């Protein structure tokens, strides 16, 4: 596996990979590092599509709406490189901020419509604009045929699909399943900031989602489902930012039982903000 820091070298190596291989596809997995099995599962999905798998590790300052969260974001570059060496990934791209944003223009704009005003968009102002900005830039640099994102960030996948359609970028977006610890806690780089006690408490998210799913399939009222989920999460001392039951395509709220439904939530466990979701029907 090649570890590459500059765009010029990356583009040269991708061209070599494509020349050497019958396979002309390029499968791309963007990450912010502090890698765990959730990230590796994306690489495994990418390997099903192409042997030319490129992973990026870049903590994108533009998508943090909270400076403390950016400062405390775990950075584990050498461990990440070790994990990737055994993953089947051919190139890891680890650029500096200057490499990605050389002129630091402040005028990036994208019309995300209501997607930017609900759930994560509503609670993390500017977050999705920052995500689109870096993903568009990375797509421009890597020029992948396929890109892989985790459904752990359910709304992010919807936003990226919207961006790709709007900007007419010729890349296929693959949404991959959520990988969980055996306790049910969704794997996340931010889990490293949880104490053992907090990690234990945070397993309530998965339990609450399972309970909500059962109630939803029993066609209980939406408000009752959200109340019961909230009570069980709060009983562990976690602070809820939102719990919403929405359409898997439009992400608009559902009033009663329907198919294609997902429940998304964001919760504070101590100082750490966690998100999770589950398909309800």
Instruction: Give strand pairing partners of 54.
Output: 28, 91
267 phi and psi angles, rounded to 5 deg: -145, 145
**Of 226 and 275, which CB lies nearer to ligand AMP in the complex structure?**
275
CB of 37 to ligand AMP, least distance (A): 8
Instruction: Give strand pairing partners of 174.
Output: 148
Q: Residue 152, interface with ligand AMP (CB under 6 A)?
A: yes
Write the interaction track for ligand AMP spanning residues 18-37; mark x where CB under 6 A is met and - where it is not. Answer: -------------xx-----
276 phi and psi angles, rounded to 5 deg: -155, 170
Q: Residue 261, interface with ligand AMP (CB under 6 A)?
A: no
**Of 80 and 244, which CB lies nearer to ligand AMP in the complex structure?**
80
Candidate segments 64-72, 120-128, 147-155, 165-173, binder of ligand AMP by CB under 6 A? 147-155
Q: Residue 179, interface with ligand AMP (CB under 6 A)?
A: yes
Q: Can you tell me whether residue 141 is helix, strand or coil?
A: helix
**Of 14 and 187, which CB lies nearer to ligand AMP in the complex structure?**
187
The DSSP annotation for 40-66 comes to: HHHHHHHHHH-S-EEEEE---GGG-S-
CB of 109 to ligand AMP, least distance (A): 22
DSSP at 177: P
**How many CA within 13 A on the CB side of residue 202?**
30
As annotated, the active-site residues are: 39
Among 84, 91, 187, 251, binds ligand AMP (CB under 6 A): 187
Q: How far apart are CA 206 and CA 211, in angstroms?
A: 9
Q: Can you tell me whether residue 139 is helix, strand or coil?
A: helix
Among 52, 155, 189, 277, binds ligand AMP (CB under 6 A): 189
Q: Residue 150, interface with ligand AMP (CB under 6 A)?
A: yes
* C-alpha 6: how far from chain center: 24
Write the interaction track for ligand AMP spanning residues 212-251; mark x where CB under 6 A is met and - where it is not. Answer: ----------------------------------------
Q: Residue 41, interface with ligand AMP (CB under 6 A)?
A: yes
**Of 101 and 154, which CB lies nearer to ligand AMP in the complex structure?**
154
**Total length of the chain:** 281
Does an H or E element contain 31, and which?
strand 27-31
Q: How far apart are CA 252 and CA 139, in angstroms?
A: 28
Find the residue with minimal CB distance to ligand AMP.
Answer: 150
**Of 95 and 150, which CB lies nearer to ligand AMP in the complex structure?**
150
Does an H or E element contain 67, and which?
helix 67-72
Among 4, 26, 42, 55, binds ligand AMP (CB under 6 A): 42
**Of 187 and 233, which CB lies nearer to ligand AMP in the complex structure?**
187
- Sheet of 261-269, strands arranged across: 239-247, 261-269, 272-279
Q: Which residues bind ligand AMP (CB under 6 A)?
A: 31-32, 38-39, 41-42, 149-150, 152-153, 176, 178-179, 186-189
């Amino acid at each position: 596996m090649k570890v590459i820091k500059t765009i010029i070298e990356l583009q040269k190596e991708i061209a070599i990979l494509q020349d050497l291989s019958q396979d002309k596809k390029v499968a791309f997995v963007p990450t912010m590092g502090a890698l765990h099995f959730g990230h590796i599962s994306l690489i495994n999905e990418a390997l099903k599509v192409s042997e030319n798998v490129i992973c990026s590790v870049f903590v994108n300052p533009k998508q943090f709406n909270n400076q403390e969260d950016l400062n405390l974001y775990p950075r584990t570059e050498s461990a990440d490189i070790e994990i990737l060496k055994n993953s089947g990934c051919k190139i890891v791209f680890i650029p500096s901020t200057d490499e990605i944003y050389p002129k630091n223009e402040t005028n990036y704009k994208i019309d995300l419509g209501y997607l930017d005003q609900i759930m994560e968009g509503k609670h993390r102002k500017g977050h999705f604009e920052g995500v689109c900005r870096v993903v568009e830039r990375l797509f421009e640099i890597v020029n992948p045929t396929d890109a892989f994102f985790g459904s752990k960030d359910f709304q992010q996948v919807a936003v990226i699909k919207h961006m790709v359609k709007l900007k007419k970028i010729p890349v296929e977006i693959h949404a991959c399943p959520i990988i969980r610890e055996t306790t049910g806690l969704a794997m996340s780089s931010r889990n490293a900031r949880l104490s053992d006690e907090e990690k234990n408490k945070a397993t309530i998210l998965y339990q609450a989602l399972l309970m909500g799913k059962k109630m939803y399939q029993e066609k209980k009222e939406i408000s009752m489902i959200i109340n019961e989920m909230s009570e069980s999460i709060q009983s562990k001392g976690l602070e809820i930012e939102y719990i919403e039951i929405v359409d898997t395509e439009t992400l608009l709220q559902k009033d009663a039982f329907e198919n294609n439904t997902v429940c998304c939530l964001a919760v504070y466990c101590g100082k750490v903000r966690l998100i999770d979701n589950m398909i309800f029907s």
